[in-house]
Homo-oligomer: A and B are copies of this chain.
Amino acid sequence: MKVHFLDLVSYRKHGEPAKGINPPRLLLEAFLVLIALGACLLKLPFATVEPVTWMEAAFTATSAVTVTGLVVVDTGSQYTLLGQLVILALIQLGGLGLMTFAVLTALALGFKLGLQHQLVAQEAFNEISLQTARRASGSIALFALAAEAVGILLLALFFVPELGLWDGVYHAVFYAISAFNNAGFALSADSLSDYVSHPGITLSVTGLFIIGGLGYIVIMELMDKRRWSRLSVYVKVILLATLFLNLVATGAVLLFEFGNPATLGALDGFWDKLLAAWFQGVTPRTAGFNTLDIGALTTATSVMMLLLMFIGGAPNSTSSGIKISTFVIMLAATRSFLRGNLNVTFFRRSLSSETVLKALATATIGMAVVFVGVLSLSALVEDNFLDIAFEVVSAFGTVGLSRGTTGELGTAGQLVIMAVMLIGRLGPLTLGYTLTVRRKSRVRYAQTEFPVG
């Protein structure tokens, strides 16, 4: 049996109904089922210290499955160990599950993994066999478990001496899974603020979520090719953009928070400040942990974070947002146009106009979702505009950082944020495909002139 990827698109192209499995709809349904199941489990008496409402259980389940980390109920104190394990399971299924789906889609659309041991035999465009899908999924799961195992070992080194064996190991497991999946769920209400000056824990956590946020394709190619010159253009661009964004973000936090007595100003010495700036600079692109008080950040830092949260990480990974590739293509297309060159190029390779249009569509839908979300919350919630905008963009990038609005959303506001988290995790294009009316004919029309700008 064959799995037909992007059948929704091919349906439109050929004007005939798709046969077999329709992955985008399958994905949406799987997420809804997982959320419903998770909410039921979290509603059971043994999952909570004090009973939670259905709304609280559904919000928690959505936040976990979409690996966001926004919470209306404190994870560490309000959920029992069993409740926390349910949350961990939802995070792993949501984070790893979507990454697997996205990698399979990329393979089916013809993206070559560039591995010596090629996973995918030459198959038809837009489909891969179930056997190939199974092998690829196994390899992705192995990658995730290996990364998480290393993370658990590293974190246990630091947590066990402090918290004892059982509690230390449990913290290591919880934070390793939460970090690799870019979930941002924490066992304390103030996230990792206790460890703001602990290089071992903060660097382990950032390492884990950066690896998860680069995703399977990038990491596998890195392990396989080892030398810069042999990497594919895509992987080079993702690595350079990630490095650039992380350095700029760290610099911005240092610059805008250095004298803020509620954040970096409270820390002694340059190295402690640098460590905290690094952690809080790299965490907005989907991870969502914090070691500084987000509500106390300056407006300038918050504005910088709005952009970082909107961009997110690499495609086919545990991160969300419009994705680094979309952001980079928009900039490169602008540069190309200004140079009078209609080909968008990176490292002497050009992109297809379909890829450029895909980036344009992703960015446009992403902005539309954020705009509608901010407008709705502005009408529904009495709160500061910055805090509202921050909450919505955080939900869209499934980041989980908050300036304090999460607790004041009310039922309607919570439903808005749940919808934005789901759209953000499934991706702007999945929403787009769902809303588009199918079109059967493909007539070519004469060109018209159109002044712009």
Chain A residues with a Cβ under 8 A of chain B: 9-10, 12-13, 102, 106, 110-112, 217, 232-234, 237, 256, 298-300, 302-304, 307, 315-316, 322-323, 325-326, 329-331, 333-343, 345-346, 348-362, 364-365, 371, 374-375, 378-379, 384-386, 388-389, 427-429, 432-433, 435-439, 442-453
Question: Do A339 and B12 touch (CB < 8 A)?
Answer: yes
Question: Do A446 and B359 touch (CB < 8 A)?
Answer: no
A112: min CB distance to chain B, Å: 7
11 pairs, CB–CB < 8 Å, chain A vs chain B: A12-B340, A234-B448, A298-B379, A299-B379, A303-B374, A322-B453, A337-B432, A339-B438, A341-B442, A342-B357, A384-B384
Chain B residues with CB below 8 A from A233, complex form:
448, 450
Chain B residues with CB below 8 A from A234, complex form:
448-451
A269: min CB distance to chain B, Å: 24
Question: Do A300 and B379 touch (CB < 8 A)?
Answer: yes
Question: Do A334 and B446 touch (CB < 8 A)?
Answer: no
Chain B residues with CB below 8 A from A361, complex form:
333-334, 337-338, 453
Bound: A101/B448 CA distance, A = 22
Say how many copies of this protein the assembly contains: 2
Bound: A446/B348 CA distance, A = 8
Q: Which of A303, A322, A325, A384 has the most CB of B within 10 A?
A: A303
Question: Do B445 and A343 touch (CB < 8 A)?
Answer: yes
Q: Beyond A360-B330, A375-B304, is A111–B451 a contact (Cβ under 8 Å)?
A: yes
A452 in complex: contacting residue of B10, B326, B446, CB < 8 Å: B326
Bound: A357/B333 CA distance, A = 7
Bound: A102/B453 CA distance, A = 10
Question: Do A385 and B299 touch (CB < 8 A)?
Answer: yes
Q: Beyond A333-B360, A371-B307, is A232–B432 a contact (Cβ under 8 Å)?
A: no
A340 in complex: contacting residue of B331, B348, B439, CB < 8 Å: B439
Q: Beyond A337-B358, A386-B385, A388-B299, is A325–B378 a contact (Cβ under 8 Å)?
A: no
A385 in complex: contacting residue of B111, B302, B322, B438, CB < 8 Å: B302
A338 in complex: contacting residue of B112, B353, B433, B444, CB < 8 Å: B433
Chain B residues with CB below 8 A from A437, complex form:
339
Question: Do A303 and B444 touch (CB < 8 A)?
Answer: no
